[in-house]
Each structure stands twice: as structure tokens, then as C-alpha cells.
Amino acid sequence: MEGTSARLLRALDWNVNGLGRHIVAARIASAFGPWVSLTWPGFTGVLQAMAPGRFAAAINQPTIRKRTGISAIDWLLSKRDVWRSHHVQPIHLLRRVFEEAPDFAAARRLLEATPICTPAIYTLAGVRASEVCIIERRETAARVLLKSACTANEWQTAEWYPGHHSAFENARRLAAMQIAPGSLDLTWLHWPILNKETRLALAADAAQGCLIAQGYEAKGPATRPLELILSR
């Protein structure tokens, strides 16, 4: 946050080569005005986006549950749960939110209450400085963090934290995010937030309709910075 508006600062880590080079800013029309998704051709969900005059949001993936203690087996068991579920994918829920929610409050209600097929962590930033929250989600349960406006890839909800695999440099990444400046730029992007798996960095201010984004690959920046200003 800076001044009277809320801002979303987002680093996407995904160990897939080429994502940073090929990311696009897709402008999408909706009943509540246009919004922009940082995405890839053929990707139907939303991982991070901004709707001018409404909100910006992103998804983080929490670490999987420890069932056997062997990460490969636990990963397969988590995928089995997804295949058996009749609930919506978290990425498709976030797309629905950008298409259907007129404001921060409506977006928060949808992200809290809609059943999903696998755990997720949502970061939601509205247009006022007070409109910021982290929504930690299990399939049919939600915990909303209002005091902490930062997240990485482990639960901050105390009763959910035990029994999960550890995430890469989670504590250090979270600490770095908590002291990051709220300016609308990418000066906050440094180790350990920036690492060899970082594929996108994004800063967005929905109140101003502004965003700045840049794609990354393992060796560093893969695109020039993109700056957009959109009206509602």
C-alpha cells in the first residue's frame, strides 16, 4: 500500500522454461468494464490480473499435504483429489471473479465462499488502502488474513500449517515481501523473491488503472518492462 490506494505486488515462480518469454497481457471485456490478465495463449484460467476501478488479484499455490512424507507420492495423491472433485479449479474461480464481481467486497465473498477442487492462496487488492487481504483456501474452508497483506507458498493460518511440505525459502521470501516498498515499480524484485524459477513480476494499482510487468527466465529478464494505463 502507498498513500490512499492498494497495490498488488506479484512474483510468479514456475519452473517451466519459456513462460517468461511468451507471457502476454490480454485485455478482456466484461459487464463491469475491461480487465487485463497476464497469461499465455490457450490458458483458460487466471493467475494474476487487474480490473481498473475494481481490484487486482493473484493466486499462489500452497505446498501439498504430507500423507506419506514422500513428495512424489503426496503430489500424485493431491492430483487424485483434484480429479475426483466436482468443484471449480482455483484459476477458473479467479477468472469468474474478474468477470462477475463489481468491486472488492463482491470479489472477496466469491473467493471465500465458492468451493474449489484444490487448496489455493488468493491475494486481493481493491482501490482503497484498506481493501487488502490474503484469502487462504482449502476446498470448502477459508481463512482471511487482514493484518498480513503478504503471502508466499505456505499457510500462515496456524491450525493449517502443520502437516505440509516446506516451500523454497518461504520464511525469507515472506519477510522480504513484508518490507517491500509500495511504489508502483519493480524495485522490490530481488533475491530471494527473485530467483531462477521467477517467470513474471507484476505491480498493479487498480485505483489508478496502472500496471507494470516483466517476464523472466532462469538467467534474468526475458522481456522489456510493460507499462499499461487503462480506464474503466
User: Domain segments of the chain: what residues?
Assistant: 8-218
pLDDT at 1: 47
pLDDT at 169: 87
Class of domain 8-218: alpha beta
pLDDT at 5: 85
pLDDT at 2: 52
pLDDT at 3: 61
pLDDT at 71: 86
For the chain of 232 residues, list the mean pLDDT of each consecutive stretch of 10.
80 94 96 96 96 97 87 88 91 98 98 97 96 96 90 90 86 90 90 96 96 96 95 78
CA distance 83 to 8: 31
Q: How far is CA 114 from CA 65, 106, 108, 135, 141, in A?
A: 21, 12, 10, 12, 9
